[in-house]
Each structure stands twice: as C-alpha cells, then as structure tokens.
Amino acid sequence: MLYIAHSGNANNSQHYSVRVNGGTQVPILDLYGITDRNKHLEKAADYIEKLDAYAENIQKLHTKIHAGANNKFINVSSTKKLISKT
C-alpha cells in the first residue's frame, strides 16, 4: 500500500507522477463512498477472507522477496546472521 500526501497549495496546474518498482500487494478494505450496510458487511467479509489467506503465506512471501538480496539488511539469510546472539 502506498500513501501519498501533498501538503502544498491547491494549485491545479501542478502535476505529479509516482512510480513504484516492485512492492507487494496486500489486501485492503476500501469502504469509501459506500453507505449501504449490507455492502459494508459483504466487503468486510471478502476482505477478511483475503487477509486470512495473505497471513497464512506472509512468511513464505517475505522469504521469497528478500532471499538473495544484495543488501545485507534485506537479505533474509544475512539478516538472520545479524540478529543471532552468537
């Protein structure tokens, strides 16, 4: 998830672009503009199912993303060495 906030003036002539390279999609619950209670419940139930499935695989996903990274602070195998109490 990526949040971007602009704290400048409301000058509409300014244009901004954002590029994201990589990243991981995570389940989100977006109820913006939905006022129907049944729709809220339906979307919430769907979100919980997706979140449960995501949570079951988060460790595997983390290892897959970070294993073999060139940065020792990101590489899972290097990080384990940094944290170990030996």
User: For residue 81, what pLDDT is reported?
Assistant: 46
Segment 32-57 mean pLDDT: 94
Residue 79 lies in a domain: yes
Q: CA-CA distance, 20 to 2, in Å (whole number)?
A: 9
State yes or no: pLDDT of 56 exceeds 70: yes
Decide: pTM greater than 0.75.
no
Supply φ then ψ for residue 54, to 5 degrees: -65, -45
Return the higher-pLDDT residue of 22 and 50. Answer: 50
- Examine residue 13 and state whether it is found in any structural domain, yes or no: no
Lowest mean pLDDT among 13-17, 28-32, 73-77: 73-77
58 within some domain:
yes
Structural domain for 45, as ranges: 37-83
When divided into structural domains, the chain yields a total of 1
d(C-alpha 28, C-alpha 50), whole Å: 9
Which residue is it, tokens 């995501």? 54
| Structure token digits, residue 70 | 């060139």
Q: Is residue 67 part of a domain?
A: yes
State the pLDDT at residue 74.
65
Asked if the model's pLDDT at residue 49 lies above 50, the reply is yes
